[in-house]
Amino acid sequence: MAHLTASVEYGLHCLLGLVDAGEQPRSARDLAAFQGISPSFVAKIFPRLEKAGIVEAAEGVRGGYRLARAPETISVLELVDAIEGPKPLFECQEIRSRCALFDDGAPGWATRGVCSIHAVMLKAEKAMRDALASESLADIAGRLQQKAPPAFGMDTRTWFDRRIARRRSGSPAQGKDGTG
């Protein structure tokens, strides 16, 4: 798990846009427009989420994506691993074996076991992974719901419903606010 990229943030925001959608799929393009982020960037994220079993795709005019499981069962770590892949936080370069004092090669004591620096980084990575595994999509959605005004959820559903209705009727694309 290297440095977490913007893809993780975009993915989490888009998944939050699916929490209240229920069985109604939402398109990656609509989710991107709702967040004010690049649709092409979001389009690259969703196949990874689908492959990981976090979302499922629905075809057709009313198609898009919906959560494949309940938000309580989707950990932030799952999303990170799906998007970023299995990259370690730190890649030890085994510098300890190249010390200038070791003319004839590093002695066994110097390279035995895990490098002391790498051990610290492994501990940090484990703590980070544990923290990400302990948080679910539902946890984040719950904190958002506590912050947002009561009408925000209804406003969100209305915004997406208008986008879907426009697509079905063949109307031109809407502006950022969901209107034509």
H/E element, 17? helix 6-19
Residue pLDDT, tens place only, 120-137 = 999 999 999 999 999 999
Q: Please indicate, yes or no, if residue 104 is contained in any of the structural domains.
A: no
What's the confidence (pLDDT) of residue 95?
A: 87
Q: Is residue 118 part of a domain?
A: no
Condensed to tens digits (0 to 9), the pLDDT of residues 6-39 reads 999 999 999 999 999 988 899 999 999 999 999 9
Report how far apart, in Å, the C-alpha atoms of 15 and of each of 46, 130, 170 are.
10, 21, 26
For residue 162, being part of any structural domain is answered with: yes
- How far CA 75 is from CA of 22, 94, 145, in Å, comes to 18, 33, 18
Domain count across the chain: 1
Inter-axis angle of helices 6-19 and 76-84, to 10 degrees? 130
Whether the per-residue pLDDT at 66 is higher than 60: the answer is: yes
**133 touches 11 (CB < 8 A):** no
| DSSP designation for 173 | P
180: its two tokens: 């034509």
128 is a domain residue: no
Q: Is residue 75 one of the residues assigned to a domain?
A: yes
**Nearest of 61, 71, 13 to residue 37 by alpha carbon:** 13
Phi, psi angle pair for 72, to nearest 5°:
-65, -25
With bands split at pLDDT 50, 70 and 90, how would you rate the model's confidence at 179?
A: very low
- In this structure, what token pair is assigned to residue 38? 């690049």
What tokens does 20 get?
Answer: 């209240």
CATH of the domain at 30: 1.10.10.10
